[in-house]
Structure formats: structure tokens, C-alpha cells
Chain A
Amino acid sequence: MSEHALETAAGNRAHALPGRIDPMRWLVRIVLAVAVITPPMYLSDSWLRVGAYVMIGAVAAIGLTLLTGQAGQLSLATPFFMFVGGASYCVLGSPHRPGRWGLGWPSLIAVVGAVLIASVLGLVFAPVAGRVRGVYLGVATLSLVYIGLYTGQKYDSITGGTASGRSVPDLKIFEFSVLRAGHRDERIWYVFLVLTTLAYLLAQGAINSRPGRAWRVVRDNESAAAALGVPVPRVRAEAFAISSGYAGLAGVMTVFWYRLFKPDESEFVGTYSIQVAIAILAMILIGGLGSVAGAIAGAALVNGMPGALNLWFGHSHVFGHGAKAVTPVIFTAFVYGTAIVLVVLFEPGGLAALGRRVQRKLSRNLLGSSLISEGN
């Protein structure tokens, strides 16, 4: 798997070469920008909600693809840090009430605080992540999901309890309220768009510069990294904390989206459950481990499909009714489960590798193959 991730990194660097303007890339960027900025003008609220849900998955998946794809640490703890992010935002942003602990901070500061708290908890777990390797680490991180579940059920004054949850303070950007106003789905769309773009740019920046190089060398060979003077435990801890921060942000976005923070009742099904851990893992694997754009594509597939299928076919007879029906959610699970298997067996580079192949074909047709000397 690592050689494919290396190929990704090499591919990125090749495109970042200065002095060459690739018209294809700019065209793609402009089309993408139009495609993400205009939907609120013509899509219905329910479609906007599907899109916003995809962006939540995208932010969480970008965090995990940095950790697993770039830094080589398998984690199933993303739902836990999402839980922490959501709970922290509610605690920091709500005024104190009897039985509901709150600090009443301005909501923007509460968002930043929630992300920081998630990262700090990631750092707290880092000593474990530093010692434990590979699949052992994957199972070790699973324990955090259980701790989150227990905390959610036990400490009502923070989490509101599994029965009612707690209300989410409005996001106010300079007296401009996002959650409690008309057109809120459109407002949420744009706020999420800003957050996702920010997450994308920061991740891409990290990958293409010093931190990314450190992550990859630690992933590929720890002894060599140490011999080269890379502080291995610190690099591993950094990757864990950063990815936890991303998950924390995704958690804040989740409570915006639901307009309610509610801890899970079971460890297996729910907003912060093992099911979510696996769904996010599916996103980054299908997208191509280590690829940020791939993580977003994976999120579109895994988080977008149930909602989209529901809106397209919800009232027709494509999906049956009753207890044994194949619902859009189950159908999506079939699709991404199968996609995981196919990716591992046939295309370990995932959608990102497919995308690069298509891109190379297109560039070749446009410019003639002689110009594309750096393509492998």
C-alpha cells in the first residue's frame, strides 16, 4: 500500500513544479468552484442538507487520511473526537443552566475551542499511539469510542444524556446568525463550504511541505526516519493531534447539521459509533489512502449516497418497504463495503489513482503525449 501512497506524493510534487501553467487544472478548479458555490441558488433544502452532510464526512476523512494514509497510523477513533468536538462546542457556547454545564462563550471562539480540545485529547492519547503499531493501534483506538459512549451516557450535565441530548448554541458570525434564521440550510452550506475549503487547503499544504515529508518517512521506515534525525514520537503525536482536531471540527459541523447534540445509546449504531468509524475509513480507502481530494470523493460516495438515493427514489418502488427492505442506507453500505474489497484487491490507489489516470489521458489528448514527460 505504501508504494502507492508514495506514487501519490510523487504525483503531487510533479504538479507543483513551478513555471508550468496547466490549463486543465485551472479549468477543473473553476468548474469545481462554480459547482460548489451555486447550489443554494437552485437546489432544494433537502439536497443542501445532503451536501452539507457530505462536507462533514469530508472534513473527518481529510483528518483521517492525513493520519492513516500519510503518517501510517490506523485509527478507529474519529467518532470519539467528533463526539468531543460536538460536546465541547455545546459546553463552551451555551450559557450555564441548572443541570447543563456551560461557559457562554461567543460561538466563533467556542468553535475554535472545541477543535483545540479535540486536538489536546488527541495529544493525551498520543503516548499510546506512539507505542502501539499497526492493527494493534486500530483496536486500541476503538477503546476511545467506548469511552465516548460511556461518557455520553453517564455525564448528563455535559452531554445532555442519551434521552434528550442538549441544544446547540447558534453560530453567530458578527450578529449574522446561521442556525436560527430563515434560509438556514443555505447559510449552513456556505459556512460548511468555507470550513471544508480551509480543511482541504491546510491538509494539502501540510502534505506538500515539511510536516508531510516527516509523516511519510515515519510511515515508510521508522528506523530510517530516526536515523535521519526525525523525532519519530513527536511526529507521530503531531499527526494524531492534527487528525483529532479535524475530527473535532467535523463534530462541531455535525451538531450544526442536526441542531442537536445527542450521545449514542449503543456502541454500534449512532452518530459517534463504530459504524461511523468504519464509514470514514471506507471514505479514505475508496478515495485512495493519503489523498485529500480522494477523501472528499470518498465522503461524497459514502455520506452522500443514502440521502441522494432517498431523494431520487424515496417515493418510488425501487427500494421496498417494511422491515426487510433494502433501504438506501443498507444499499449504500453494500456499495461501500464492496468498494473497499475491490479497492484493496484491484486498485489500492483508490479513486485518486483512477482520477490521475483519467487526468493523464485528458492532458495527453489536449497537449500531445510528448509534453507529459513527468507522467509515469
Chain B
Amino acid sequence: MNTFVQVVVNGLGKGAVYALLALGFVIIFKASGVLNFAHGSLVLLGGYIVARTQDDLGFLGSAVLGVIAAAAGAVIIERVLVSRRPLADPIALALLTIGVDVVMSEEIIRRLGEEIPFLGSPYDGKPFQIGSVTFFRTNVIALGVGAVLVAAFFLAFRFTPWGVSMRALAENREAAALMGIHRWRVTALAWCVAGALAGVAVLFLATQDFSGAGLSLGTHAIALVAFPAAIVGGLDSTSGAIVGGVIVGLTEALSAQYISFEFSKVAVYMVMLAVLIVAPAGLFGTRERTRV
């Protein structure tokens, strides 16, 4: 029972990180209709800046700078590349972001060289005990931070002018434009938010507790595990991203504990496949209807 509680808490912590990433996918998909394959590179970019500035600025300063860098990177990708082809086929745009991802990730990994820095120095590798249950501090803090950020996002999405215009855009682009909504400001801000969330996520991803490894190509691969999270929930559902993140985090933690560590990566994708067979647009995604 104790192991089970421990596994669930750690799974939820991982789920919170996946939810941050999945929410990023969903926000970008809603704003630009793009499945952003470059999200893993934004994660790496944020992590790289943190690793490079940590000695000078301390953890908090470098973390803030890393988040800003990831957000700025996202905005640049949107402004310079994606916004040039607003009417392009979604698959073409997804491929575009793959191109961006290849260049960015290769360059960052090359710059890291043989270094594999760990990022979460204040909490990483410092387990604590409640009763006879051991928790990873990284996962517990990730759960807290994730919950706060997700709550903040939903409040902003519900009440700020940006959230309202974003929802209006997602609902009907032309009507929103006619009502005087500046499309580019909304989409740029959406990418900015998504990038910032990726910048926060990497502070937990590249740690001993989360993956056992520091910032490397592996971090990029873990960011890809957030794909299933976004897909399970449905690419155009913000609340789906949270549910998807939790499902993926728990699946990974439980299967790693009770089946095998190697199986846990596959298990996540198996769950995604199963969901897609039942609901081809994810659990909360809107199904495209064809009209003749």
C-alpha cells in the first residue's frame, strides 16, 4: 500500500509536468492549428539557458531567464515562420516545425557537448519521508507548481481579454476578426505562454528524480511523451491536456513499478493508441465532421 501511494504521488508529479507540456501543445494548436513538433527544442532551449547561467545568477535567476528564453523562442518561431503561412495545410505546418526542431535540437545538443547538466538543484535528489513512504521532492514540487500554473492559466483563459479573444478565435476566426480581435497578438501570446510552460517543465524534466538524467537529447525525447498526453485529451481541449497529462504520468509510473521500467514508455503509447481507436480525436477533442 505504501509503495502504491508513493508511486501514485510520483506519477502525479510526472503527470503535472506532462500536463504543462501538453497544455503548450494544445494552446498552440488552438491558436495556429499547428501540432508543434518543435516543443522539445523549446524545452531544450530553456534548459540550456538555465544550465549556462546557473553559476552566475543562482537557481531562481537562471530559471526565470530560461523560461523567458523558451517563451521568446516560441514567439520567434511563430512570428518569423508559422505566421507566414496562416492558411497552409496543418500537416505542412507540422512538418515545418519538425524542420525547426531538427536544427534547434542539433545545435543545442552540439553546444552542450559531453556535458549533461542537472537543472533542479534546490530539490533534485533530496527525497523526504512521511511515515514510511518516501517521496521524490522533484515530483512533489512539480505537482504544486503545475497545479498553480494550470489554475492561473484557466483563470486567465476565462477572465482576461486575451483568454476571451483566444476562445473567440478558436470558435470562429472570421467572426472574431470582424469583432476587431487582432489575430496576431492573440496567437503570438499563445505561443509565448506555451513556450514559457515548456521552460518551466524542463526545470523538472532534466533532474535525477524525473528521468535519472540531466539535460540531453533524452530530455527532448521525454518531451515527446507529452504528445500522447495532448492527444489522449484531444488536441483542441485545454482541460483535456490536464487529464491527458495525469493519465500519461500515472500510466508511466504504475507500469514502471508493476511491470517493468522498459515497458513504461511503450505503455504510454499503448494507452494512447487504445484511446484513439475508441475516440479518434481524443477524449475531449472535437471530432471533425464532414459535410457533403
A153 contact set on B, CB distance < 8 A: 262
A340 with B262, Cβ < 8 A, contacts A138-B35, A146-B269, A223-B290 known: no
A127 at the interface (CB under 8 A from B): yes
Smallest beta-carbon distance B67→chain A, Å: 24
| Interface presence of A58 (CB below 8 A) | no
**Beta-carbon contact of B89 and A345 below 8 Å:** no
Residue pair A333, B102 in contact (C-beta under 8 Å): yes
Interface of A is mostly: helix
Q: Is the CB of A323 within 8 A of B113?
A: yes
- Tell me whether A240 is interfacial, beta carbon within 8 Å: no
B93 near A344: Cβ-Cβ < 8 Å: yes
Q: Is the CB of A344 within 8 A of B85?
A: yes
Q: Quick one: CB contact mask for A321-355 with B, threshold 8 Å, 1 for yes?
A: 01111100010011011111100110010000000
Does A282 count as interface, using CB distance less than 8 angstroms?
Answer: yes
Chain B interface residue count: which class?
A: 35 or more
Q: Please tell me which one of the listed residues B98, B217, B266 contacts residue A146 in the complex, with CB atoms under 8 A apart.
A: B266
Q: Type the 1/0 row for B99-125, where 1 means its CB is closer than 8 Å to any CB of A.
A: 111110011001101100000000000
Interface: A364 (CB within 8 A): no
Q: Which of B96, B277, B291 contacts A345 (CB 8 A)?
A: B96
The listed residue (B91, B103, B227, B269) touching A333 by CB distance below 8 A is: B103
Q: Which residues of B contact A101 (CB under 8 A)?
A: none
A143 touches B35 (CB 8 A): no
Is B218 in contact with chain A by the CB < 8 A criterion?
Answer: yes
Q: Which of A90-98, A165-173, A203-211, A261-269 binds B? A: A261-269
Which residues of B60-108 have CB atoms within 8 Å of chain A's CB atoms?
81, 84-85, 88-96, 98-103, 106-107
- Residues in B whose Cβ lies below 8 Å from that of A154: 262
B273 touches A143 (CB 8 A): yes
A-side contacts of B176, CB under 8 Å: none
**Residues in A neighbouring B56, C-beta threshold 8 A:** none
- Render B260-292 as a binary contact track against A, CB cut-off 8 A, 1 for contact: 001101101110110011001110000010111
Interface centre among B90, B91, B93, B280 (most CB of A within 10 A): B91
Supposing A267-B265, A278-B102, A333-B102 touch, asked if A134 and B272 sit within 8 A by C-beta, the answer is: no
| Cα distance A281–B96 in the bound complex, in angstroms | 11
Contact A341 B81 (CB under 8 A): yes
Residues of B within 8 A of A134 (CB): 90-91
For A131-154 the 0/1 string (1 means CB < 8 A from B) is 111111011101100110110011
Q: Identify the B interface with A (CB < 8 A).
A: 35, 81, 84-85, 88-96, 98-103, 106-107, 110-111, 113-114, 217-218, 220-221, 224, 227-228, 231, 235, 262-263, 265-266, 268-270, 272-273, 276-277, 280-282, 288, 290-292
Q: Which residues of A are interface residues toward B (Cβ below 8 A)?
A: 1-2, 68, 74, 127-128, 131-136, 138-140, 142-143, 146-147, 149-150, 153-154, 222-224, 227, 266-269, 274, 278, 281-282, 285, 322-326, 330, 333-334, 336-341, 344-345, 348
10 CB-based A-B contacts, threshold 8 Å: A1-B88, A127-B277, A132-B280, A138-B91, A139-B228, A147-B269, A282-B98, A334-B103, A334-B106, A337-B102
